[in-house]
Amino acid sequence: MTTQVNTPITVAEVEAPPLSLGNLTWRRFRRHKMAIFGAVVLILLTFYSFGGALFFTEKYSNYTNTKERLQSPNAKHPFGTDTVGRDILARTIYGGQISILIGITAAFVEVMIGILIGAIAGYFGGNIDAVLMRFTEAMLNIPQLLLLIVMSKFFSGNVPNINILGRELSGSVIVIILIIGVTSWPYLARIVRAEFLSIKEREFILAARATGTSSWEIIFKHILPNSIAPIVVSATLGVAGAISLEAYVSFLGMGVRAPTATWGNMLENAYRYIETAYWLWLFPGLLIVLITLSINFLGDGLRDALDPRSRTV
């Protein structure tokens, strides 16, 4: 009877070099069942959105056929068709690309602004900190949804179409990315500032200054890598947040404009058919729920895996 528990420790194991930080993180992450589930679902959704493009052209996803409008799921249209006869399966595929793109880039914008403001406020302190933090608090005091709606009303009046990755997109995509990024950084800035406040007092920062390291190098090469864990976690959650915010604004008809599909704007007219044509909202809605849920699980797992205080292997 040999079980895993009774396996004797080999010499190689005893003499193995200590685990690197990356190894340790991966070990803890692997134990988090829900995080693994989240990661797998996320990978599948990415395959769905980007792999699916091999089977349908974008033209097909935007093709309106009024003879086939509001068809329930059938062999030709597995997810049914919408109010103007577009294939919902193809639209969820292309819409997924845009939703994921918006999620990632908006979170990127958020992280860049958040890090910059948080780092400068935390590191330099004093009046700079006071001014930046009052500004941050002012931003936090305005409800984000209100800001989003007002800004998208204001900016997305007449934006030309643009070309990204060989795709013709409504310029409103870029507007939405910027608006989401610009309205969601304050929380992150506060997290970054708090990290900087505590790390800048650590002895190795003094040691770095004593070797003539400049302030910018200390901020970006010494303090930032030490505060990367909470930043990664909130950036991950920021992706989920951006996807659902986009869905929200697009649902209200103020987000990404047709013909470009997103999971959010596919819901736009669906509320009128909640009882009569469930396929209009079920598939995009399900995808939004799945992606935000899996990203949140992933973020949870990362939080546990990257937290140095839970460093038990």
Partner 1 sequence: MDAIHTFLEVKDLKTRFHTPEGTVYAVNGVSFTLKEGETLAVVGESGCGKSVTMMSILRLISIPPGEIVSGEVTYRDRNLLKLSESEMEHVRGKEVAMIFQDPMTSLNPVLTVGRQLTETLRTHTNMDEEQSRQRAVTLLEWVGIPDAGKRLTDYPHQFSGGMRQRVMIAMALACTPSLLIADEPTTALDVTIQAQIIELVKKLKQDVGMAMIWITHDLGVVAGIADRVIVMYAGFIVEEAEVDDLYDSPLHPYTTALLQALPRADRRRDKNLKSIQGVPPNLLAEPRGCPFAPRCEFVKERCVNENPLLIETENRHKVACWVNVKTGALR
Binding residues for partner 1 (CB under 8 A): 17-18, 20-21, 126, 202-204, 206-214, 217, 221-222, 225-226, 228
Q: How far apart are CA 132 and CA 69, in angstroms?
A: 53
Q: For partner 1, give the closer residue by CB, 176 or 199.
A: 199
DSSP tally for the chain: helices H, then strands E: 13, 2
- Within the chain, strands assigned E span 162-164, 167-169
Residue 2 Cβ vs partner 1, minimum distance, rounded to whole Å = 33
Task: Answer yes or no: are the C-beta atoms of 95 and 262 closer than 8 Å.
Answer: yes
Q: How far apart are CA 153 and CA 101, in angstroms?
A: 21
Q: For partner 1, give the closer residue by CB, 74 or 214.
A: 214
Residue 237 Cβ vs partner 1, minimum distance, rounded to whole Å = 22
Q: For partner 1, give the closer residue by CB, 144 or 213.
A: 213
Residue 205 Cβ vs partner 1, minimum distance, rounded to whole Å = 8
Length of the chain: 313
Q: For partner 1, give the closer residue by CB, 126 or 166.
A: 126
Q: For partner 1, give the closer residue by CB, 127 or 276.
A: 127
Residue 121 Cβ vs partner 1, minimum distance, rounded to whole Å = 16
Strands 162-164 and 167-169: antiparallel
- Within 96-227, strands assigned E span 162-164, 167-169
Residue 131 Cβ vs partner 1, minimum distance, rounded to whole Å = 17
**Contacts of 303 by beta carbon, 8 Å cutoff, 6+ apart:** 229, 233
Q: For partner 1, give the closer residue by CB, 19 or 140.
A: 19
Residue 126 Cβ vs partner 1, minimum distance, rounded to whole Å = 7
Task: Answer yes or no: are the C-beta atoms of 165 and 172 closer than 8 Å.
Answer: no
